[in-house]
Structure 1
Amino acid sequence: MRKYSDVFSDTDFLWGSATAAYQCEGAWNEDGKGEGEWDYFNHHSVLNIHNEDGDEASDFYHRYKEDIDLMVEGGQNTYRFSISWARILPNGTGEINQKGIDFYNNVINYCLEKNVEPNVTLFHYDLPLKLAAQGGWLNNKITDYFDEYAKVCFKEFGDRVKIWATINEPRYYSYCSNIVGNYPPNRYADIQSYFQYQYNLMLASAKAVNSFKQMKVDGIIGIVHDNGSVEIDPTAENQEEIFKIADFFYNRMILVPALEGKLPDELEEMKKTFNFMIYHSDNDAEIFSKGKGDYLGLNLYNRQYVKHWENGETEIFHNNKGADSMSLEGIRLKGLFESSFDKEVRRNKWGREINPRVMHTALLEIKERYGNPLILIAENGHGIYETPDENGYVEDDERIEIFNEFLEYMLKAKADGVNVKGYYHWATMDLYSWINGYEKRYGLVRVDFKNDFKRIPKKSYYWYKDFINNYSKNTK
């Protein structure tokens, strides 16, 4: 039987790529899968601005062997993917869908047959509709439903899966659902729901981590946080106070429970600062203390560059229209802080900073402030518009340039003592990019969505293969 100790027996580093269930699987209503919140949103909401959905996505459900084969050919030794909760438990709780179990068994077994280490995330934004209709992550009962779901997955897959993540990006998921309002249930600037979501998500994670340990599953389990490392504009007033407030807003409700097994010490102070309350669960201190993870997954794209609030009402700046909009990503929280926009830093077509240096500074900050935990870079990539040649081949030199910078800064952090042991490029192949649809492309492999989902490796795919090979040669 495989052991976690086998994971790093032949390599000191995991090199792979990542996807998420709703974004790549398709087969949205096949083989007993229940309806998900994103299925409902995309089929019924006027807020689905691009009129796109994940009904077929990248058709990974039917083509997983081809995609895993391409990973192997590209030198990758690990694959991070998520499980669709509604494919396992169609109603979110109760009856188990055996065909869903069978599908993920097939994916896991094929990964292992090809010497690809499966890294499984239990929840990546796709909540079962039945639970969404009961209040979703504002309903405290969902923390027990999630624990029930997690235990099913541990029982069915835990003998072979050695790397687990409970929840992908609880902070950013809550941000899009309750602050930006571009993800269902589409609340805008709702600070109360923003923090209650994070509390319930972290409580659910802690319960699942505790179950993992009680079940004595061999492996490691953690959570995946979107990097929110805060940097202060040098012109800002009250810089220490602004950092404390912004760091709480972007990071502390995730990192402290995940890495220290408790709620942040400053929580009561910040309830007053942000004017919100938390509906606490009984014995939550004990639950969090038993829910500390074994590692941190970090999705790293950018920093949070802020300054003091100058004037104006609370406003969120977010661009889901790409080149059709001039909006830059950021926020203004009245009376607290606001985003600052550094004109010296590149931005992508969706208004987000492109700043690979942050890979180094963010990793060092985690090391210095949180005791140098084991870290896996669970996502990192670059979304662009792409034009293939007549054969469908994409020369994505822009991606390669930025890709290389990020990797060099990651290896610099590793050399500086950060305990980083793996990297997953986002994404394995082109997929559905949530509310952005399909034109925002992240994949190492092009998917021709209009030609039977044909897979064509891009220039970056071959570049990454060479990078991995060179790393392996130089570290032997």
Structure 2
Amino acid sequence: MSFPSEFTWGAAAAAYQIEGAWNVDGRGPSVWDTFSQTAGKVFENHNGNVACDHYHRWREDIGLMKQLGIKAYRLSLSWSRILPQGTGEVNEAGLKFYDDLINGLLEAGIQPWVTLFHWDLPQALQDQGGFTNPAIADWFGDYATIVAKRLGDRVNHWMTINEPPVILGLGYQDGVFAPGLKLSYAECLAAAHNLLRAHGKGVQALRANCVGPQQISIAHTSREPIPASDSPADIEAARARYFGCVAENMWNLAWWADPIVLGRYPEDGLERFKEHLPTITDADMKLISEPIDYLAYNCYSGYKVKAGADGVAEVITDGHGIGNPRGTLPWLSIAPEAIYWAARWQTERYKLPLVFSENGFCNTDFVHRDGKVHDSQRIEFMHHYLTAIGKAIDDGADVQGYFYWSIMDNFEWAEGYKDRFGIVHVDYQTQVRTPKDSFYWYRDLIARGGQLD
């Protein structure tokens, strides 16, 4: 199996998870600084104060990326490093850091794919309500304008916001991620609408201020139902569940994607959530549906469903089988069929090319006595998922890229440094980087154009 010659092979990381330097060179605090520095919020009270010290070691890290042979690197910007108060005065040192980083990537032959916002909202804006404040749309638009004017002559691939379901679901509804709120469903839906409006303002700012043609998206995620069999009934039941809006949580993919691509909220969600809906205007929907160029999607795992007697999907307990291989985080069962169906169904529904902006495996990797990191399980994970992507492409899905999550071990949010996703091992005591076996496997795969054995 091989991939198209123009396929984008990449790796990814996010600012708060790797940069460190949390209070260096004028950077302001973000909600994740506040959250992780609050006792009891993160595993063993870890925080991102130092993380991988990428802020000081980015040249070394680009050297590893060049050795890996990736064509693209997905990074995010720290909003509060650029605008310490979220709005107002620009921190020149913060912009210069990203200037230098992007120049270094381009010199190494690596295209930067930039995410404007990956969860680390400036604390100053959270103090004004964060995404519950309708003004967030203008705040984000102004921030995107500053970034586009400074970096948009060299960056051509953008994602506005990473994983809205996590921002609102885990951060505003469940309270287990920053900013740690537990709001009503009506308040969460209003914040979600504000987030989508912010995305639209971001798209407008990028279009107006970047140089040359731009490729713009938003990085979505969801929970992937997998049909239990190849029967048309099971497939249609799983598809309907994937795009259905029935649960009072933030994980309904179509609630986020339909307004952006199709210009409307899903009818079933409007009916199901009618008692909780914010005011939705035609002007809002026009803003939210500013055209995007591709779908970015983060996919890790899934769960099996079958069609019930009424055709509605039923979740199969232990659908993968007792003892199915999994990562160290409880939600990461190895289920490559999830990425196949995500590719098929999204490209069919939204008629846009798709890039998998995250996919990865977490484990408790360590340096062995021979000085190497042997992570054969990660290699098997990548092989299975890439095989599934290749099959989806063969079956008509327009998948144009893959970004492994992540380039290096890093701060895994509320799990701290316990779980390792990287293909480069990081010793957090010494900051020594050690490429894992999976690094060399991925390097060789890229070099032979994605040819899987």
Global fold match (TM > 0.5):
yes
Distance 1:337 1:284, change over 3 A: farther
For residues 268-324 of structure 1, give each alpha carbon's deviation from its aligned partner in whole angstroms, at most 9, with x where no partner exists: 21213xx522244672122123x231111111102255689xxxxxxxxxxxxxxxx
**CA 1:472–1:282 in structure 2 vs 1: closer, same or farther (change >3 Å)?**
closer
Alpha-carbon deviations, 1:142-162, whole Å to 9, x = none?
A: 111001000111100000001
| Contact 1:231–1:303 (CA under 8 A) maintained in structure 2 | yes
Query: 8 Å contact 1:28–1:55 — kept in the other structure?
Result: yes
Name which of structure 1's ranges 259-268 and 435-444 shifts more when overlaid on structure 2.
259-268
Q: Does 1:251 align with 2:268?
A: no
After superposition, what is the alpha-carbon deviation per residue over 1:319-362, rounded to whole angstroms, capped at 9, x for unaligned? xxxxxxxxxxxxxxxxx998844251433332222101211111
| Alpha-carbon distance, 1:419 to partner | 1.6
1:35 alignment partner, one of 3, 7, 29? 29
Which runs of structure 2 are paired with 1:136-215 in the superposition (5 Å)?
136-188=130-182, 190-215=184-209
Superposed, 1:81-120 pairs within 5 Å as 81-120=75-114
SS at the partner of 2:45? coil
Higher relative contact order (CA 8 A, sep 6+): 2
Shift of 1:45: 4.3
Structure 1 unaligned residues grouped into runs of 5+:
1-9, 309-335
- Whether 2:440 is the aligned partner of 1:462: answer yes
Q: Which residue of 1 aligns with 2:278?
A: 278
From the superposition, tell whether residues 144 and 282 of structure 1 become closer, same or farther in structure 2 (CA, over 3 Å). farther
In the alignment, residue 272 of structure 2 is paired with which amino acid? M
Q: Which amino acid aligns with 1:360?
A: Y
Structure 2 equivalent of residue 357 of structure 1: 337
CA separation of 1:168 and 1:417: change in aligned 2, threshold 3 A: same
Gaps of at least 5 residues in structure 2 are 308-312
Check conservation: 2:245, 2:269, Cα contact below 8 A: no
Q: Tell me, what secondary structure is at the counterpart of 2:410?
A: coil
Q: How does 1:203-352 map to 2 (within 5 A)?
A: 203-215=197-209, 217-218=211-212, 219-231=214-226, 244-246=244-246, 249-272=251-274, 275-280=275-280, 283-289=283-289, 291-303=290-302, 305=304, 340-344=317-321, 345-352=324-331
Match of 2:66 among 69, 72, 78: 72
Change (3 A) 1:166 1:339: farther
Question: 2:82 & 2:13 partners in 1: Cα distance?
Answer: 18
Q: Distance in 2 between matches of 1:35 and 1:42?
A: 11
Whole-angstrom CA distance in 2 between matches of 1:450 and 1:162? 36
* Residue in structure 1 matched with residue 404 of structure 2 by the alignment: 425
Partner of 1:51: 45
* Mapped partners of 1:280, 1:58: distance in 2: 42
Alpha-carbon separation, structure 2, partners of 1:412 and 1:250: 26
Structure 2 counterpart of 1:322 = none
Q: Aligned in 2, Cα 1:370/1:465: closer, same or farther, shift over 3 Å?
A: same
Which stretch of the first structure deviates more once superposed, 341-350 or 461-470? 341-350
Give the drift of 1:367. 1.8
Indicate the larger mover: 420-429 or 178-187: 178-187
Letter in 2 for 1:462: Y
Moved more, 260-269 or 161-170: 260-269
Counterpart contact for 1:430–1:441, Cα < 8 Å: yes
Distance 1:246 1:172, change over 3 A: farther
Classify the secondary structure of the residue corresponding to 2:252.
helix
- Determine the C-alpha separation between the residues in 2 that align with 1:215 and 1:119: 17
User: C-alpha displacement at 1:259, in angstroms?
Assistant: 2.0
Cα drift, residue 213 of structure 1: 2.3
* 1:171 Cα deviation after fit: 1.5
Instruction: Report the AA paired with residue 430 of structure 1.
Output: D
Cα RMSD after superposing both structures: 2.8
1:262 Cα deviation from its structure 2 partner: 3.3
- Give the AA of the match of 1:76: I
Partner of 1:320: none
Q: TM-score, normalized by length of structure 1?
A: 0.84
Q: Which residue of 2 aligns with 1:122?
A: 116
Please give the alpha-carbon distance, in whole angstroms, between the structure 2 residues aligned to 1:434 and 1:56: 13
Contact 1:199 1:253 in 2 (8 A): no
Secondary structure of 1:346's partner? Answer: coil
How many angstroms does 1:408 deviate by?
A: 1.0
Residues 1:61 and 2:33 are matched in the alignment: no
Amino acid at match of 2:363: I
Code of the residue aligned with 1:459 in structure 2: it is D
Change (3 A) 1:425 1:37: same
> Residue type of the partner of 2:131?
W
Q: Distance in 2 between matches of 1:413 and 1:40?
A: 42
Quick check: 23-32 or 195-204, which moved more?
195-204
**Number of matched pairs:** 433
* Conserved 8 A contact 1:77-1:117: yes
- What is the deviation of 1:210? 2.0
Identity of aligned residues (%): 35
> Which piece of structure 1 moves more, 384-393 or 18-27?
384-393
Distance 1:473 1:341, change over 3 A: closer
Q: Does 1:438 align with 2:417?
A: yes
- Structure 2 distance, partners of 1:206, 1:341, is 40
- With structure 2 as the length reference, what TM-score do the two structures score? 0.88
* 1:233/1:340 contact within 8 Å kept: no
Deviations 1:90-125 (A, max 9, x none): 000011000011000000000000100000000000
